[in-house]
Amino acid sequence: MVQAFSRRFFLGGVAALIAGPGLAQPPAVSLRPHLRPKALHKLAVTGSEALVADAGLSGKVAFAVADVTSGLVLETREAAVGLPPASVTKTVTALYALDRLGPAHRFRTRLIAAGPVQNGILQGDLVLAGGGDPTLDTDALAEMAAKLKAAGLREVRGKFLVWGGALPYARQIDADQPDHVGYNPAVSGLALNFNRVHFEWRRAGAGWGVSMDARTARYRPEVEVASMAIMAREVPVYTYRAQAGNDRWTVASGALGNGGARWLPVRNPDKYAAEVFRTFARAQGIVLKPEAVVAALPAGTTLVTQESEPLREILRGMLKHSTNLTAEMVGLAASQAQGGRVASIRASASAMSRWANQTLGMTGARLVDHSGLGEASELRAGDLVKALVAAQKSGVLKPLLKDITLRNAKGQPNRAHPLKVKAKTGTLNFVSALAGYLTATDGTEMAFAIFTADEPRRAKIPRAERERPRGARTWNGRSKRLQQKLLERWGVLYGS
């Protein structure tokens, strides 16, 4: 059923577009409508090249915009040039996951009894088995512990095993990122709180009190799998090392001030989830031995199943909050949906690129991950617009995209702006992208993609400065202003 869903919509839509004149070959110059007397105001619209020049951006600027109904390409610039798409990659990942898994797919985390249960006593091992759910949180583990008690289990005589092998393990999504950024955690088939641990510090006399916990709004279980030591120094702010399957962090005392908090990435997600579950099991009167990570899933009887929301809702959250871990996990699951197994994020991203080129009619999709965090990924603006037009014929993507509020002349959000935009943003240092759908005041709907990137400047950033490099915020701000000016140009020029 999933294949029928995608092939009818995607392949049929793309074939029609490729066959038609609109997207077969992007025009070398902008196409302009013939102006009627009542449309003379369009003559005053600033040209796209003037807008690009005024933006003062170093690097490259590429874009494409097309009428959604006809597929006619309205305007392009460098549309066949491959540039880093950043988190706009997640639009392709969403379409890939919907195609391979289906919008109603749910991920399942299980508690398995590897042995008989007699009079509430498990005469064997208890297994916490991940099923690739990227949204599993501390609240869900607490609920699973309560369900285990409600099922009548009182004691486990065997070991407590944890398995995250439903997806391949990766220590981090992108090795070029700083160690401490929470948006670059480990990937596994078992994830908790997006594989992040909450680090909090408060001034206590001459020093600080620190905590590392797996908090949600309801619970704050402290963990030992990740620890923090305060060191008398100014820089580096953080250091990391792995020790016996645990995450050992240090932080510079000179950076702490009176107090604060941040999320740090987890590198041992299986142990992290298992430790938190042990805490909740103990609160239910079920004492478990320290967890042991296993490579193969033991056979047994499922005692408790925790289901995720349907995939469509997971993707909605991913596109709204741009959660990298969600993109990687659903992308990996999609690659394995046909019964195969991928060895790594990069291998899965290559499979997704082939799918995009074959199914969405792209020609130059070269992706190294599913989230856009890796700067080596490339998409072409013209390709992505072609895919967006095809996707809109099925109606599967636009409802999942975030409403983008345009701004007024003072840079403030203008919720009364006459143009309506549903799109995905993408931001890396000296890389900015925006792609989605623009609705003009007369109801004309357009698909667009705007990519800007200064790759040489980005390549010069030292690894230690990649969280907030000098000049990146100003550059990205200019790019975002250019994006709005282009959208406003298209809304007026092609809106009727």
* CA pair distance 134, 313, nearest whole angstrom: 12
When pLDDT is averaged across residues 309-319 and rounded to a whole number, the result is 98
**For the CA atoms of 132, 135, 138, 139, what is the dihedral angle to 10 degrees?**
-120
- Rounded to 5 degrees, what are φ and ψ at 249? -110, 150
pLDDT of residue 42: 65
* CA pair distance 394, 256, nearest whole angstrom: 51
pLDDT tens, position by position, 320-375: 999 999 999 999 999 999 778 899 999 999 999 999 999 998 999 999 999 999 99
DSSP 3-state helix, strand, coil percentages of the chain (rounded to 5)?
A: 35, 25, 40
Give the DSSP H or E segment for 450. strand 445-453
CB environment 229-252: b (16+ within 10 A), e (fewer): ebeeeeeebbeeeeeeebbebbbb
- Rounded to 5 degrees, what are φ and ψ at 421? -130, 130
In which residue are the tokens 């935009």 written? 421
- Domains, the chain, in order of start with CATH, read 2-103+330-493 (3.40.710.10), 107-308 (3.50.80.20)
CA angle 401, 413, 370 (to 5 degrees): 30
pLDDT of residue 409: 85
pLDDT tens, position by position, 45-86: 889 999 999 999 999 999 999 999 999 999 999 999 999 999
- Is 69 in a helix, a strand, or coil? coil
Cβ atoms of 91 and 315 within 8 Å: the answer is: no
Cβ atoms of 401 and 436 within 8 Å: the answer is: yes
Q: Taking Cα atoms as reference points, which of 329, 317, 320, 321 lies closest to residue 93? A: 329
115 backbone φψ class: left, alpha, beta (φ>0; ψ -120 to 50):
left
More confident residue, 169 or 46: 169
14-28, 121-135, 434-448: range with lowest mean pLDDT: 14-28
Residue 360 CA to its chain's centroid (Å): 20
- Is 103 in a helix, a strand, or coil? coil
> What percent of the chain shows pLDDT beyond 90?
84
Q: Taking Cα atoms as reference points, which of 304, 308, 288, 342 lies closest to residue 111? A: 304
* CA pair distance 96, 354, nearest whole angstrom: 11
CA angle 184, 190, 196 (to 5 degrees): 35
pLDDT tens, position by position, 185-199: 999 999 999 999 999
Q: Taking Cα atoms as reference points, which of 47, 240, 37, 278 lies closest to residue 156? A: 278
CA distances from 80 to 24, 61, 167, 344 (A): 12, 11, 34, 28
State the CB neighbour count (10 A cutoff) for residue 16: 16
Q: Which two tokens stand for residue 263?
A: 């999320």
26-30, 244-248, 413-417: range with lowest mean pLDDT: 26-30
pTM: 0.90
Total residue count of the chain as it appears in this document = 496
Cβ atoms of 111 and 130 within 8 Å: the answer is: no
Q: Which residues pair with 242 in a beta bridge?
A: 247
Does the CA dihedral 360-361-367-373 come out positive or negative? negative
DSSP state of 46: P
pLDDT tens, position by position, 179-230: 999 999 999 999 999 999 999 999 998 899 999 999 999 999 999 999 999 9
16-20, 136-140, 178-182: range with lowest mean pLDDT: 16-20
CB within 8 Å of 486: residues ≥ 6 apart: 48, 51, 63, 65, 448, 450
Q: Which residues pair with 424 in a beta bridge?
A: 435
When pLDDT is averaged across residues 145-149 and rounded to a whole number, the result is 98
CA angle 389, 394, 398 (to 5 degrees): 65
* CA pair distance 286, 288, nearest whole angstrom: 6
More confident residue, 269 or 394: 269
Q: Average per-residue pLDDT in the chain? A: 91
- Label residue 239 by pLDDT band (50, 70, 90): very high
- E strand segments, 54-195: 60-67, 73-77, 82-83, 108-114, 117-118, 121-122, 125-129, 155-156, 160-163
